[in-house]
Chains A and B, each alone.
Chain A
Amino acid sequence: MNDILKIRKDCKREMKLTWSKYELSKSFDEYITSKRTVRGHLKKIGNFLESLSENDLQELDSATKSAIKSLGINFRVYSDEGSEERSWPLDFIPRIIKKKEWNLVEKGLKQRTKALNLFIEDCYNNQNFLKEGLMDSSMILSSKYFLNFCKGLKLPNSSWAHISGSDLIKDEKGDFNVLEDNLRVPSGVSYMLENRYVMKRVFPDLFSHYGVSKIDEYPLKLYETLVQASFTKSKNPEIVLLTPGIYNSAYYEHSYLAQQMGIDLVEGIDLIVKNNVVYKKTIEGLQKVDVVYRRVDDDFLDPDVGNSKSVIGVKGLIKAWKNKNVAIVNAPGCGIADDKAVYTYVPDMIKYYLNEDPILPNIKTFILKNKEDRNYAFENFTNMVFKPVAESGGYGIVIGRNIKKDDRSIIKKNILKDPKNFVAQPLISLSTTPTFRKDSIFPRHLDLRPFILSGKETYVTVGGLTRVALKRGSTVVNSSQGGGSKDTWVVDA
């Protein structure tokens, strides 16, 4: 505690923060109880923060910002006026989760991801789940993500979504719920790793007072997962990371991961398919590629089967994959399970495929195609969030209570045009955590995206990427829409 005491002595006394003035709301605050006391396992950091003056807070904030700038951690945002690179937004107050609580979440995520992978393989093979009438099969068979060419294919370890990211939120009681599963090309893991790297530089003294679990094994685990995805038996298969290029919003991450794993970062033009075998063009000639970790969407992977105008894909890639000459990670066709309507059935999948009870609860979801669900959702319009089933990145979401009375009928009409494309969920008040804004600390809503790797075994990152909505009362955490992030600490407590 000596370091902390020292900092406390050094800091200026005026304008000190006190938790008694912290604006609590109906939401669950992860630091402060409704009686305005610091939660037991957060006493140390809570007291430390309370000891800081406005100056100290600003210093920590600018130290964080300058570390991010000098490390060049950025992301690209697109708008109507083009795109720009922005510095990655990190709030220096960590989000802290007890190890005991985390262990259960980890178990729940492993269970969920296993079931989802089995479900995907089933959909492209026997379709038992659908045949038994456990869900309306048209939801899968008419989905734009259902790819006919995947039919009949079985993959090593039944892994289709080798890398996935599930979004978790804490409800009013402080319990974790799954909000959605991202199975196509989830991004953000590099920022999780970089957040920790920056925090160690900015907050070294705090780390020594908490047993914070390490997270830096992720690139190694990812590499192992990619090796296990390979169809070849070689222990050192040739692996590449396929990026759409420097203008992709996640290019920073592509480059970071390729570097961490020591694999080539390739673009479509660097690969060529001959006799259903994929090669990369090197200065020594063509070299066979065994695994493509692609960060390109299904539709753009191969102009032969998807978008014929795609210039970021590789002609013939899918055929090479179907011939099992190359592994594609994540496998094409995963998107069928990455859908907000299919999400509703994940607890049933867990029961069906694993014969287990789901550990992590889903958010109650109303399928608007069903008349009963729809009527209920429309009657309770202001308490609902309406979501298009197949979008990601927070796009197209309508929060009922933000819509003026006169405009509600327009939204309803829009949904009625094609109700199978929408779901509704009750508006959940996301938990909050103290977050630095301008000159003091305020509660801000957050979610959590852990990343799950599916190979021979299933691996879950320790914690994940915490995203935080920076505007007061807002629940929009997406960085493309002004959200920020926090380092996530899983601690022994």
Chain B
Amino acid sequence: MLSRSAKHLYWLARYIERTENIARMIDVNLELILDFPDDHSLNWKPLIDTLDINDLFENKYKKYNENNVLNFLFEDSRNLSSLNNCLEMSKYNIETIKDDLPKSANIKLNELYDHVVGKKISKIHKRKKLHHLTQIVSMTQGFFGAINNNLSRGYEFEFIRLGRFIERTDMISRIIDCLCISKSEKQTHDFSTMEWLSMLTTLSAQDAFRKVSKGEADREEVISFLLKNDSFPRSVYRALLIIEECLKNLPKSKKLLLMNSKIIKKCERSRLDNYDDLKLHLFLENLEKDLSKVDLKIQSIYF
């Protein structure tokens, strides 16, 4: 397989997965605000914090308010992770490889692109914002659905999966971080079982969570589920196992497998019940750094 094709497939998957996760993050925040309409302490800064793009943001905007943050995350061209940019990059990456992919996948990406690019989020009515976001999530899933159902298993498939799950692991980690910062910065309210559960819903994780944990749910249980559950495909641990599977199917992956299994072990060994918010934050930050090393290694070996 050509290195260039592998590179495009990998980044195509990363950008589409990123689109989905950023949409989910915005969704989490919008829902939280609806739940605490009077609590002005809840703000939009954590979203920018978790993506590590504060400098870029502050260059243009003064206040971390809903309008500014949403503009920045949706359509700002200087923000490389804005939904607009993610989809432009997806389009760019699919261009020379689209004949290797099922036609239906290309059609799905076009739909998603038309749904997002060129629309101003500030022009979308409040009532329709959540729906708009849900649509984005469901369209990205439509894209991967087309891939899963129609693409032969082989290197093409593995590079898409690899890109998707590396991106996903990174983003789950960031989303957990985002939730905990929202929670810890402002101690004006305590998250009850219901709030933790609604957060899981936004991550499409409630049903899966309920199967392993019934009754009251607290921070440890929810975070440990999102980090360490071994069967839910939107948990860090599970995503790492899928990355391992991909690597096993690719050539020259010995070193990468070693790096990945170290991360898996770290995850297994983590004692979340002992972690306060700062410790958890450091743990997640470390995880993100490890992943970025894997990413660099993938690039140097294959592309």
Contacts and interface: CB of A to CB of B under 8 A. Distances in A.
B302 A283 contact: yes
A72 B103 contact: yes
Q: Which of A264, A270, A282, A283 has the most CB of B within 10 A?
A: A283
Contact of A270 (B3, B95, B103, B155): B3
B155 A283 contact: yes
Interface string B236-274: 000000000000001110000000000000000000000
A280 B2 contact: yes
Interface in A273-312: 280-285
A252 B201 CA distance: 44
B288 to A, nearest CB: 25
B99 A264 contact: no
Contacts of A270: 2-4
A282 B3 contact: yes
A245 interface: yes
B212 interface: no
B96 A281 contact: no
A264 B302 CA distance: 17
Contacts of A269: 4
B6 A283 contact: yes
A137 B25 CA distance: 74
A52 to B, nearest CB: 32
Interface in A216-272: 245-246, 255, 259, 264-267, 269-270
B99 A255 contact: yes
Contacts of A245: 96
Interface in B1-51: 1-4, 6
A267 B4 contact: yes
B105 to A, nearest CB: 13
Contact of A266 (B2, B95, B99): B2
A281 B2 contact: yes
B1 A283 contact: yes
B96 A283 contact: no
A259 B4 CA distance: 17
Given A72-B103, A267-B4, A270-B3, A284 B96 contact: no
B interface, over-half SS: helix
B93 to A, nearest CB: 12
Interface in A77-116: none
A264 B301 CA distance: 20
Interface in B92-114: 95-96, 99, 103
A269 B96 CA distance: 13
Contact of A259 (B99, B155, B303): B99
Nearest to A252: B99
B83 to A, nearest CB: 24
A283 B103 contact: no
A interface, over-half SS: mixed
Nearest to A247: B95
A265 B97 CA distance: 10
A264 B96 contact: no
Contacts of A280: 2
A270 B3 CA distance: 8
A264 B96 CA distance: 12
B1 A282 contact: yes
Given A267-B4, A270-B3, A284 B252 contact: yes
B251 A283 contact: yes
A281 B4 contact: yes
Contacts of A255: 99
Contacts of A259: 99
A246 B95 contact: yes
A284 B4 contact: no
Nearest to A240: B2
Contacts of A267: 4, 96
Contacts of B251: 283-284
Contacts of B103: 72
Contacts of B252: 283-285
Nearest to B98: A255
Interface string B148-173: 00000001000000000000000000
B150 to A, nearest CB: 15
Nearest to B301: A283
Contacts of B95: 246
Nearest to A266: B2
A90 B302 CA distance: 42
A245 B95 CA distance: 10
A264 B100 CA distance: 11
Given A267-B4, A270-B2, A270-B4, A283 B250 contact: yes
B113 to A, nearest CB: 16
A45 B1 CA distance: 48
Contacts of B3: 270, 281-283
Interface in A35-55: none
Q: Which of B3, B6, B252, B301 has the most CB of A within 10 A?
A: B3
A449 B140 CA distance: 44
Nearest to B4: A270
A281 B2 CA distance: 6
Interface in A138-184: none
Contacts of A285: 252
Contact of B2 (A72, A246, A264): A264
Contacts of A284: 1, 251-252
19 contacts: A72-B103, A245-B96, A246-B95, A255-B99, A259-B99, A267-B4, A267-B96, A270-B3, A280-B2, A281-B2, A281-B4, A282-B2, A283-B2, A283-B6, A283-B251, A283-B301, A283-B302, A284-B1, A284-B252
* Closest 8 A/B residue pairs (Cβ): A281-B3, A283-B302, A255-B99, A283-B6, A284-B251, A283-B1, A270-B4, A270-B2
Interface of B: 1-4, 6, 95-96, 99, 103, 155, 250-252, 301-303
